[in-house]
Homo-oligomer: A and B are copies of this chain.
Amino acid sequence: MPADHLNGRREVTVSDVAAAAKVSKATAARVLGGYGAASEAVRDRVQAAAEELGYRPNALAKTMTTGRSNSIGIIVGDIENPFFAQATRGAADVAKAAGYDLILLNSDEHADAEENAVSVLLAKRVDGILVAPASTTDPSTLRAAVERGRPLVLFDRIADGLDVDAVVADNRAGARRLTDLLLEAGHRRVAFVSTIVHEGDYRVGDRLGSSSVGDRVTGFVEALEVAGIPDPARFVRLNARRDGVDAIVRGLVDEGITAIVASDSLIAQAAFRTLRELGIPIPTAVSLVAFDDADWTSLSAPAITVMAQPIHEIGAEAARLLIRRIAGDGSPHENVVLPQRLIERESIAPPPD
């Protein structure tokens, strides 16, 4: 009983409407679907019949014949992360305006979940896919989509060796600027902290799993290099999830670090809490800056100086690009880089002597 849905009723179809309006199925379909031509009289009869019977189109059947589903898939790390929630909203608004809906999948930044998500979306015949790739260096999970010619647009990070469009923020410039601020305040011992997974200690040139974090690290290192600080790589602390931000921050303090660049606002939050618990005042003892203008950063005492990203726009622009590809735009793939914006607050001070 396909048409009934766990339920006695049967869905009313174009055939039903056609019969009621005493026209052929094709004609009814034409007026109901808003394509082809029909005399006014017929149109009225069909519409009346449809109304009367409570006709609801079956978008799936339409997709079966047209090949277009009017839905796009979006794969995020975790919708609960405000970054992804905002980007998703940006994408949703653009999509909706163009008549598309979003099928949402969380990857938790795991390759297998991502691969599975792609399979599901491909099976559901989405018209295109938006994805924040779990891995920049090994995007093999996304290959299935690309090979099948399904339009795919990356956001937040790029993927090596995948010829697709991408929309990212200018993380390198942002990191550089943020770090410069610290350097200008007189700091010489400043650390960069990220949760990104990485084997062993970071060394200049290492490719990281996420291009956005990678670019931030690059910008950070560059700033230190320009300032003439030897061996900047030693100030980069990764694997913060595994090792614990708390432990890392404590270690940093013990080492005499005087400033911290947090790779995202969650890390900043953890660092902030740890410093507070340790009774180490910000910014007089340790300065703290971060990426993302999370709401708490302006409410905390002190308020945190941050590099804001145009998150909404990242999602929106990615959706725009994807929709253009779906529409058949065959121009060369783009790599859109959006600027970040510095918001100076109260979390930087000169290092203590």
Interface residues in chain A, defined as those with a beta carbon under 8 Å from any beta carbon in chain B: 1-9, 11, 56-61, 63-67, 69, 71, 78-80, 82, 85-86, 88-89, 92-93, 96, 101-106, 119-120, 122-125, 127, 144, 148-151, 269, 272-273, 294-296, 299-301, 326, 328
Contacts and interface: CB of A to CB of B under 8 A. Distances in A.
A78 B92 CA distance: 10
Nearest to A116: B96
Nearest to A62: B123
Contact of A67 (B2, B269, B300): B2
User: A2, A4, A69: which has the most chain B beta carbons within 10 Å?
Assistant: A2
18 contacts: A3-B67, A5-B127, A5-B148, A7-B148, A9-B148, A11-B148, A56-B123, A56-B144, A58-B125, A60-B124, A80-B82, A89-B106, A92-B106, A101-B104, A103-B104, A269-B295, A294-B295, A294-B296
A195 B40 CA distance: 47
A65 B58 CA distance: 13
A103 B328 CA distance: 24
Copies in the complex: 2
A124 B273 contact: no
A151 B6 contact: yes
A260 to B, nearest CB: 16
Given A103-B103, A104-B88, A67 B299 contact: no
Contacts of A328: 6
Contacts of A61: 64
A3 B65 CA distance: 8
Contact of A64 (B60, B88, B273): B60
Contact of A301 (B57, B58, B300): B300
Given A7-B148, A59-B125, A60-B60, 16 more contacts: A2-B67, A4-B67, A5-B67, A6-B326, A8-B149, A58-B125, A60-B69, A80-B82, A80-B86, A80-B89, A82-B82, A101-B105, A102-B104, A102-B105, A269-B295, A299-B299
